[in-house]
Amino acid sequence: MQLRDFLSYEEIYIQCHDSPDADALASGFGLYTYFQNHGIKTHLIYTGRFRIRKANLVLMVEKLNIPVEYVEEGTLHLTNELLLTVDSQYGAGNITKIPAEHIGIIDHHQMEARNIPDSLILSDFGSCSTVVWKLLCEEQFDPNDYPDLATALYYGLYSDTQQFTEVHNPADKDMHDALKYRNSVFSLLKNSNISSSELEIAAIAILRAVHNTEKRYSLIKSEPCDPNILGLISDLCIQVDSADVCVVYNELPDGIKFSVRSCTKETKACDLAAYLAGKIGSGGGHLEKSGGFINRWLYESRYDSLLTEDYFSIQVQNYLNSFDILDARTSHVDHSRMKSYRRRQLPVGYVQPTQLLPSKTPITIRTIEGDLDLIISEQTYIMIDLQGKVSVKSKEDFHEHYLPTKDAYHPKALYLPTIKNRLTGTQIRLSGYIHSCIPLETTIVQAYPLERACKLFPLWDEEKYLPGNIGDYLVALKDQPGDLFIEEKEVFEQTYELI
């Protein structure tokens, strides 16, 4: 989907979900600004039982001049106009259905509407604001030319990711870094989130916390409240000396919002959040702080009779019991179980960053797996595989093991790596600069598929584990059997062949 696809309409209605939050207002405002600037008669609307009255949202609408209108249910019937639902999906339970012949959807939740062709649903994005920002950038429409809009999008991401703690998608990070927002307004909004009644909700939730001292985790159910309250509660509860992991959640009309905290290296908060969401929601974030959302309809279709208290208790215990811990320094690995494999001579991508920026420039390489900071030199080579994963090699190491070709390299990745100049803030997309090279040597490894999930602490990092799921491969270099790593099943079978 591209926004230019809708420029043929003379009139467009952008509908936020009922009781819109900051992300819905911001993403709707972004679309409104784009279409208005193209001369289209545009309306930003919401309906439902309640008008906007939460303090931070009233301030957001007022301070950022968001032209949102409340429409009484049953008063709109659209024929030639486009109805574009934002941060929700037409026909979903959290948005009043307005009769319309032409419908589009822009959202970041789990897919519910499957019969509407004009849909863009990016469930791995932390906010719908990011989806809209991406669409605007693809149209060469810079939100920074509109300070109110830039601030709204920034606050939308802040609000929907529990103060940025759930940001894990590189597109969310790109928007976060790119927006030039009005700091005075953002500061006012973020400090207007909590009401006295929500403080009371937090206090009651903490008093009712359930602690499992054997497994060292806490579970806390809260009454419905602003998502940031969940983060506040979990930040407090992770400080309890008997808990290494904390999960706080509440039930909302359209689903279950949850916050995760971890202070142990064996449990990444982002991994636990993704596990809790499973295939019925989305979750992620950082090593210590994370969160997610579970879709109400998907939950009830799978766990109709299961109380949410039981769901989270079962899932947290299942997660903590589901994996083995391996440390390449100390753990014994039965190499007799391993078979020998040869690495196929597949092309790999590389970039010489000094062809793009001067030597000694500090940069951040943004990848689907996270950010990598370094200072480049003529010796720096950035390696990129088909999945978009990145490693850094020296010039000597590169020419010893790879033969450059004249071909371009095109990774099949959801997100292609970018380089950010940390001195200027300028971002360079690497898609047009990746060259191809062929491995010179045949690499022999030993490997076996995992029968249980595994967390491997490799030789090169004793703080961050490599996760492995059932069916993934535990791999050791033949001439360095202690140098262990994990490859995803699909990647391993594409990359290696049995000897």
Looking at 421, 439, 457, which one is the last position of a domain?
439
Residues 236 and 283 in one domain: yes
215 pLDDT more than 80: yes
User: 47 and 134: one domain?
Assistant: yes
Both 295 and 354 in one domain: the answer is no
* Whether the predicted pLDDT of 470 surpasses 90: yes
Instruction: Specify the CATH number for the domain of residue 72.
Output: 3.90.1640.10
- Quick check: 477 and 483 in contact, CB under 8 A? yes
Lowest pLDDT segment from 133-137, 229-233, 396-400: 229-233
**Where among 272, 288, 321 does a domain terminate?**
321
Same domain, 139 and 285: no
Percentage of the chain exceeding pLDDT 90: 71
> In this predicted structure, what is the pLDDT of residue 287?
82
3-state secondary structure the chain: CCHHHHCCCCEEEEEECCCCCHHHHHHHHHHHHHHHHCCCEEEEEECCCCCCCCHHHHHHHHHCCCCEEECCCCCCCEEEEEEEEECCCCCCCCCCCCCEEEEEEEECCCCCCCCCCCEEECCCCCCHHHHHHHHHHHCCCCHHHCHHHHHHHHHHHHHHCCCCCCCCCHHHHHHHHHCCCCHHHHHHHHCCCCCHHHHHHHHHHHHCCEEECCCCEEEEEECCCCHHHHHHHHHHHCCCCCCCEEEEEEEECCEEEEEEEECCCCCCHHHHHHHHHCCCEEEEECCCEEEEEEEHHHHHHHHCCCCHHHHHHHHHHHHHCCEEEEECCCCCCCHHHCEEEEECCCCEEEECHHHCCCCCCEEEEEECCEEEEEECCCCEEEEECCCCCEEEEEHHHHHHHEEEEEEECCCCCCCCCEEEECCCCCEEEHHHCCEEEEECCCCEEEEEECCCEEEEECCCCCCCCEEECCCCEEEEECCEEEEEEEECHHHHHHHEEEC
* Same domain flag for 22 and 146: yes
pLDDT tens for residues 339-360?
999 999 899 999 999 999 999 9
* 20/163 same-domain check: yes
Domain that holds residue 214: 196-321
- Spatial CA neighbour of 124 closest among 487, 430, 464, 414: 414
pLDDT at residue 114 tops 80 = no
Residue 113 above 80 pLDDT? no
- Cα(313)–Cα(212) distance, integer angstroms: 10
Regarding whether 405 and 490 lie in a shared domain, the answer is: no
- Please report, for the domain that includes residue 293, its CATH number: 3.10.310.30
Residue range 262-276: average pLDDT? 93
Q: How many domains does the chain have?
A: 4
Q: Which of 408, 439, 470 is the last residue of a domain?
A: 439
325, 330, 333, 339 alpha-carbon torsion, rounded to 10°: 100
CA 469 → CA 108, 278, 379, 456, 488, distances in Å? 26, 14, 36, 11, 8
| 331 contact partners, CB below 8 Å, separation of at least 6 | 325
Range from 106-120, 205-219, 233-247, 299-313 carrying the lowest mean pLDDT: 106-120
Asked whether residue 375 falls in the same domain as residue 494, the answer is: no
Those residues with Cβ within 8 angstroms of residue 150's Cβ, 6 or more apart along the chain or in another chain: 143, 144, 179, 180, 181, 182
Same-domain check for residues 317 and 458: no
Tokens 């403080």, located at residue: 199
Q: Give the percent of the chain with pLDDT over 70.
A: 100
What's the pLDDT at 277? 92
The band of 282, judged by pLDDT with boundaries at 50, 70 and 90, is confident
Distance CA 377, CA 105 (A): 46
The string of pLDDT tens digits covering residues 288-335 is 888 888 989 899 999 988 999 999 999 999 999 999 999 999 988 888
Main-chain dihedrals φ then ψ at residue 208, nearest 5 degrees: -100, 15
Question: Cα angle at 349 between 345 and 350, to 5 degrees?
Answer: 125
Residues 424 and 454 in one domain: no
* Whether 284 and 393 share a structural domain: no
What pLDDT, on the 0 to 100 scale, is given for residue 464?
86
According to the model, what pLDDT value does residue 234 have? 92
Is 67 in the same domain as 209? Answer: no
Residue range 226-257, pLDDT digits in tens: 777 888 899 999 999 999 999 999 998 889 99
Could you identify the residue written with the tokens 């210590």? Answer: 288
